[in-house]
């Protein structure tokens, strides 16, 4: 079996990639690497990639032996799922490796915005002791907080558990789960709305002007999902109490400095899922998927 690691990952070292190749080699796989602009050979059976490598119908047609794509990401919008399915190609993702870091980051951002920490920090930098403003800026305690989680997959379900453990009331929504309330049903009644959904037809610009207008004035929005899920102009219109953004439609955003100048916004550079052990965790998850394929077992986290 020929496995190609297609495109470098900034989170994985050369030594870690070599160790993966050795482990898979002991199972009879021939592992090679290809730069992102160099298409794998036609006999490739498994591709390991990330979001910077796009697999559309034309690419899939050029890989007739391909049977498994493992993307070392939570998102999968860089893969044409319909084209893959039509060609019998299984697509799996690696959501566990980043799960806890994403949840931690999203909660940290939400709490920082609730507690107005960016505003206090700017006051301090300007030499202002803003204790007099503390009453006006007082946050809602977690025990009285209602949090809406959009997406109830691997990461979203973890976010629900984490917020609940902190004492908040949590409501989740996911179009893939008809047992959950709709997004329209929850958006008007939450203090925090945190996005943990994949980019799909239903989540593209989910947070638009109508959604923002329907949300509670002063609510907090956090997006660690995909940039295209949020209409930035609508989200930053001033109706919301704070906006946390880890992802953007264009990265880096062209108006980065202007956004950073606002004290109701927290920006992070698409880094919510990064943690000290990310590289090995990604490769372990990719290896588990390939191993399941080799053994004829169900591949975990198939899209």
Q: Quick check: is 115 catalytic?
A: no
Distance CA 11, CA 230 (A): 26
Q: Which of 23, 115, 270, 275 is catalytic?
A: 270
Q: What is the DSSP letter of 273?
A: T
What residue ranges in 238-301 does DSSP mark as E strands?
242-245, 265-267
Q: Quick check: is 251 catalytic?
A: yes
Instruction: Count the residues in the chain.
Output: 303
State the DSSP H helix or E strand holding residue 13, giving kind and residue range, or none if neither: none
Report how far apart, in Å, the C-alpha atoms of 215 and of each of 79, 84, 260 are. Answer: 32, 37, 23
Q: Which of 22, 43, 233, 251 is catalytic?
A: 251
Contacts of 201 (CB under 8 A, 6+ apart): none
Question: Residues 302, 154: contact at Cβ < 8 Å?
Answer: no
Distance CA 10, CA 12 (A): 6
Q: Which of 17, 93, 196, 226 is catalytic?
A: 226
Q: What is the DSSP letter of 263?
A: T
Distance CA 203, CA 236 (A): 18
Distance CA 97, CA 73 (A): 8
Q: Quick check: is 136 catalytic?
A: no
Whether the link from the prior residue into 252 is cis, omega within 30° of 0, is: yes
3-state class (DSSP) for residue 160: helix
3-state class (DSSP) for residue 173: strand
List, by residue number, the catalytic residues. Answer: 226, 251, 270
């Amino acid at each position: 079996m020929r496995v190609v690691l297609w495109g470098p990952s900034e989170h994985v070292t050369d030594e870690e990639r070599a160790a993966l190749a050795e482990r898979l080699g002991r199972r009879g796989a021939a592992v090679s690497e290809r730069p992102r602009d160099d298409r794998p050979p036609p006999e490739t059976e498994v591709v390991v990639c990330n979001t910077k490598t796009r697999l559309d119908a034309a690419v899939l047609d050029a890989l007739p032996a391909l049977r498994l794509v493992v993307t070392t990401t939570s998102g999968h919008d860089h893969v044409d799922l319909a084209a893959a399915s039509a060609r019998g190609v299984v697509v799996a993702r690696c959501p566990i490796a980043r799960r806890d870091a994403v949840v931690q980051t999203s909660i940290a951002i939400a709490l920082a915005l609730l507690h107005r920490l960016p505003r206090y920090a700017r006051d301090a930098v300007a030499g202002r002791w803003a204790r007099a403003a503390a009453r006006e800026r007082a946050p809602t305690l977690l025990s009285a907080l209602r949090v809406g989680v959009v997406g109830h997959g691997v990461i979203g379900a973890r976010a629900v558990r984490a917020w609940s453990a902190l004492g908040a009331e949590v409501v989740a929504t996911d179009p893939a789960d008809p047992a959950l309330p709709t997004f329209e049903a929850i958006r008007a009644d939450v203090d925090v709305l945190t996005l943990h959904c994949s980019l799909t037809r239903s989540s593209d610009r989910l947070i638009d002007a109508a959604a923002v207008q329907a949300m509670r004035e002063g609510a907090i929005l956090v997006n660690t999902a995909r940039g295209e899920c949020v209409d930035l102009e609508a989200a930053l219109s001033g109706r919301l109490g704070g906006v946390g953004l880890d992802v953007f439609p264009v990265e880096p955003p062209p108006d980065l400095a202007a956004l950073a100048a606002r004290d109701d916004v927290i920006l992070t550079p698409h880094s919510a899922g990064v943690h000290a052990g990310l590289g090995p965790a990604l490769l372990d998850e990719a290896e588990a998927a390939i191993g399941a394929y080799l053994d004829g077992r169900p591949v975990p986290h198939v899209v």
